[in-house]
Amino acid sequence: MTVGVAPYLRPATLGEALDALAASPEPRLVVCGATDVYPAHATRPIDRPVMDISRVAGLHGIVPLDDGGWRIGATTTWTDVAAASYLPPAFDGLRTAARQVGGRQIQNVGTVAGNVVNASPAADGTPNLLALDASVEVVSAARGIRLVPLASFLTGYRATVLAPDELVTALVVPAADGARSVFEKLGSRAYLVISIVSVAAVVITRDGVVADARVVVGACSAVPMRLASLEAALSGVPVEDAPGIVRASHLDELSPIDDVRGPASYRRDAALTLVRRAVAAVTA
């Protein structure tokens, strides 16, 4: 990666970072692990100011909230998530994804928040966070803190609502008592690969029936998508019947494309299989 003549800043405090964003005459490229930035600039220089937030105090770690939810700081790495055995079963899917994002070196420096901000449709973290109903904590020097639902934060292919003077400081996951989760990923191999299709599911059961279900498919649309019709169909269904509820029509809202990893028709068929597999696993 070549930075070229673009100035490089590594602030130590959140205030310094926000002031730098506010004062910059052009949008800064914010990095932490830079694992998504490097491939994009391997053969061309970065021509705008770079700000590395990896040393900003107070942005690292996973902490419980008073309301039963959880806060994942912006510089929290995939390794941190994978090692967080204290997290409830609702996070099992995200922890599975954490162990499949690149190799160990990538997991040690790549961040969950960076995965979200990069806004790739094939991101492994985003489907799980959408299924967890997560929100993105965003801060600017001028407007303070705002909490944006992740579904609203992502606006399209590699596009978000983040303003040039704003910084993502955390991901906030609400309480999900009794929830179980799972993550299924299809790639050309088991590890070190971009998803052809991915599926995250979070389900809460009570008295042997599905009380709440959230199912998200990644890599089959401009952004990972929740399957609203399937979620509605699963509500109130006995757990043993849940896998049989899944129909191809529940995936109609997806819009897979043909690319080097597979044709759209293959993606759609694979997504149906993975959705059924995920629903079966999370209701077993």
Sign of CA dihedral 64, 69, 73, 78: positive
Phi/psi class of residue 262: alpha, beta or left (left: φ > 0; alpha: ψ in -120 to 50)?
left
- Residue 203: the pLDDT is 98
* pLDDT tens digit sequence for 174-189: 999 999 999 999 987 7
Task: Give which of 281, 249, 115, 105 is closest to 195, Cα–Cα.
Answer: 115
pLDDT by residue, tens only, the chain of 284 residues: 444 445 899 999 999 999 999 999 999 999 999 998 878 887 888 888 999 999 999 999 999 999 999 999 999 999 999 999 999 999 999 999 999 998 899 999 999 999 999 999 999 999 999 999 999 999 999 999 999 999 999 999 999 999 999 999 999 999 999 999 999 999 877 667 899 999 999 999 999 999 999 999 999 999 999 999 999 999 999 999 999 999 999 999 999 999 988 999 999 999 999 999 999 999 99
Neighbours of 273 (CB within 10 A): 14
Helix (H, G, I), strand (E, B) or coil at 70: strand
Question: What strands, in cross-sheet order, belong to the sheet with 179-186?
Answer: 179-186, 197-206, 209-218, 225-226
Q: Where are the beta strands (DSSP E) in the chain?
A: 8-9, 29-31, 50-52, 62-64, 70-73, 135-140, 144-149, 154-156, 159-160, 166-173, 179-186, 197-206, 209-218, 225-226
Segment 125-149, tens digit of pLDDT: 999 999 999 999 999 999 999 999 9
Contact 200, 206 (CB under 8 A): no
Contacts of 231 (CB under 8 A, 6+ apart): 213, 214, 215
Across the beta sheet with 50-52, the strand order is 8-9, 50-52, 29-31
- Looking at residue 1, its pLDDT comes to 46
| CB-CB contact of 138 with 115 (8 Å) | no
Amino acid making up residue 9: L
CA separation for the pair 224, 168 (Å, rounded): 19
Contacts for 91 with CB less than 8 Å, ≥ 6 apart: 70, 81, 84, 132, 173, 181
What span, in angstroms and rounded, lies between the C-alpha atoms of 100 and 86? 19
d(CA 76, CA 55): 11
Alpha-carbon distance of 79 to 20, in angstroms, equals: 29
